Structure 1
Amino acid sequence: MKPTAPRYDAVIMGGGLAGLTLALQLRQRFDDLSVLVLERRAHPVPHAAHKVGESSVEIGAHYFDTVLGLKPHFENEQLRKFGFRFFFSEGRRDIDGVTEIGASRYLSVPSYQIDRGILENYLAQEAARHGVHFADDAFVRRIELAEDGATHHRLQWTQGGETRDTEARWLIDACGRAGLLKRKLGLAQPNDHDANAVWFRIGECITIDHWSDDEAWRARCDPQARWLSTNHLVGAGYWVWLIPLASGSHSVGIVADQKLHPLATIDTFDKAMAWFATYQPRLYEALDGKRHLLQDFAFLRHFSYGCKQVFSDRRWALTGEAGLFLDPFYSPGSDFIAIGNTYITDLIAHDRRGRSIEARAQLYDQIYHSFYESTLALYQDQYPLFGDPEVLPVKVIWDYAYYWGVLSQIFFQGRLTDLALLGSVRDELQHCQRLNLAVQALLRAWSGASEKRNRAAMLDQAAMPWFAELNRSLNDRLDDAAFKARIRASTAQLRQLAGEILARARDCDPALEAVALEALLAHPEYRGAQRLSAAPQHDGAMLFAVPAG
Structure 2
Amino acid sequence: MPDPHANIDVLILGGGLAGLSLAIELKRRDSAITITVLERNTHPAPEAAFKVGESTVEIGAHYFSTVLGLREHLDSRQIRKFGFRFFFSDGREDLDATTEVGVRHALPMMSWQLDRGRFENFLGEHAASLGVDFRQGCKVVGVDLAEPGSDGAHQVRHARDGVESVSTARWVVDASGRAALLKRKLGLAKPHPHDANAAWWRVEGRLDPGSWSSDLDWKQRCQPAERWRSTNHLCGPGYWFWMIPLASDVHSLGIVCDARMHPLDTINSHDKAMAWLREHQPRVAQALDAPQHAVRDFRFLRHFSHDCEQVFSAERWAITGEAGLFLDPFYSPGSDFIAISNGYICELIGKDRAGARIGAHAELYQQLLFSFFDNTMTLYQDQYPLFGDALVMPLKVVWDYTYYWSLLAPLYTAGKIADLSLMGRLRKPLERATALNKTMQVLLRGWGEANAAAGYAPPDGRELDQSAIGWFRDLNGALVDSPDDAELSARIRANVERMELLASEMAQQACRQHPALSGMSPVDGTASADATAMLLPPVWYGLEDLPPSGKAASPTPGVALTA
TM-score interval w.r.t. the shorter chain? over 0.9
SS at match of 2:249: coil
Question: Would the aligned equivalents of 1:80 and 1:228 in 2 still touch at CA under 8 Å?
Answer: yes
The answer (yes or no) to whether the contact 2:446–2:517 under 8 Å persists in 1 is: yes
Q: Which runs of 5+ in 1 are unaligned?
A: 531-538
Q: Does 1:438 align with 2:412?
A: no
TM-superposed CA distance for 1:548, in Å, is: 7.0
Alignment partner, residue 506 of structure 1: 511
Q: What is the identity, as a one-letter code, of the residue corresponding to 1:216?
A: D
| Cα distance, 1:89 vs structure 2 | 0.7
1:27 deviation in Å? 0.4
Of the candidates 484, 492, 495, which is equivalent to residue 487 of structure 1? 492
Question: What do the CA deviations read for 1:314-372 (whole angstroms, capped 9, x no partner)?
Answer: 11001100001000000000000000000000000110110000000000000000000
In the TM superposition, what is the alpha-carbon distance from 1:529 to its structure 2 partner? 10
CA distance in 2 between counterparts of 1:111 and 1:373 reads 24
SS in 2 for 1:511: helix
Instruction: Note closer, same or farther for the CA distance 1:225–1:320 as it changes in structure 2 (3 Å cut).
Output: same
SS at match of 1:379: coil
Number of the residue aligned with 1:475: 480
Relative distance call for 1:203 and 1:94 in structure 2 (3 A) is: same
Pair 521,374 (structure 1): closer, same or farther in 2 beyond 3 Å: farther
1:271-420 equivalences in 2 (<5 Å): 271-290=272-291, 293-420=294-421
* Native 8 Å contact 2:204 2:292 kept in 1: no
Q: Distance in 2 between matches of 1:395 and 1:154?
A: 48
SS of 2:310's partner is coil
The question of whether the paired residues in 2 share the 8 Å contact of 1:439 and 1:517 is answered with no
CA–CA separation in structure 2 for the residues paired with 1:58 and 1:521: 33
Mapped to 2, the partners of 1:314 and 1:170 lie a distance apart of 8
Shift of 1:491: 1.1
TM-score computed with the length of structure 1 as normaliser: 0.95
- Which residue type is aligned with residue 462 of structure 1? S
1:5: Cα distance to partner?
Answer: 4.8
The equivalent of 1:125 in structure 2 is: 125
Q: Which whole-Å deviations, capped at 9, do the CAs of 1:378-398 have from their partners, x for residues lacking one?
A: 000000000000000000000
* 1:86-105 paired onto structure 2 within 5 Å: 86-105=86-105
User: 1:519 Cα shift?
Assistant: 3.3
Aligned residue identity for 2:220: A
1:202 paired residue number? 203
Moved more, 160-169 or 374-383: 160-169
Q: Does structure 1 conserve the Cα–Cα contact (< 8 Å) formed by 2:205 and 2:293?
A: no
Structure 1 residues 95 and 528: CA distance shift in structure 2, 3 A: closer
Q: Deviations over 1:287-339 (max 9, x none)?
A: 01248610000000000011111111111001100001000000000000000
Structure 2: give runs of 5+ residues left out of the alignment. 545-563
Superposition map of 1:175-194 within 5 A: 175-194=176-195
In the other structure, the counterpart of 1:534 is none
How far off its partner does 1:545 sit? 2.1
Q: Distance in 2 between matches of 1:529 and 1:506?
A: 15
What is the CA deviation profile of residues 80-104 of structure 1, one whole-angstrom value per residue up to 9, with x for unaligned ones?
0000000011111111100000011
Which residue number corresponds to residue 540 of structure 1?
Answer: 533
CA distance in 2, matches of 1:289, 1:103: 28
Q: Percent identity among equivalent residues?
A: 51
- d(CA) in 1 for partners of 2:292 and 2:47? 19
Q: Call closer, same or farther: CA 1:385–1:515 in 2, change over 3 Å.
A: closer
Give distance in 2, aligned partners of 1:263 and 1:509: 34
Counterpart amino acid of residue 443 in structure 1: L
Query: Which residue pairs with 2:423 in the alignment?
Result: 422
Whether the 8 Å CA contact 2:203–2:251 is kept in 1: the answer is: yes
After TM superposition, give the deviation of residue 212 of structure 1 in Å.
Answer: 0.4
Q: Distance in 2 between the 1:380 and 1:4 partners?
A: 47
Paired residue type of 1:485: A
Answer yes or no: is the 8 Å Cα contact 1:495–1:521 preserved in 2.
Answer: no
Q: Which stretch shows the higher mean deviation, 173-182 or 509-518?
A: 509-518
- Is the CA contact 2:87–2:100 (under 8 Å) kept in the aligned structure 1? yes
Q: Which residue of 2 aligns with 1:214?
A: 215
Aligned length: 535
Deviation at 1:453, TM superposition (A): 2.4
Letter in 1 for 2:234: L
Could you state the TM-score of these two structures normalised by the residue count of structure 2?
0.93
Which portions of structure 1, spanning 4 or more consecutive aligned residues, are displaced by more than 4 angstroms? 527-530
Matched with 1:85 is 85
| Residue 141 of structure 2 corresponds to residue 141 of structure 1 | yes
Supply the distance in 2 between the matched residues of 1:374 and 1:416 (Cα, whole angstroms).
Answer: 15
SS at match of 1:519: coil
Match of 2:114 in 1: 114
* C-alpha contact (below 8 Å) 2:375/2:434 kept by paired residues: yes
Q: Is the 8 A contact 2:504 2:530 kept in 1?
A: no
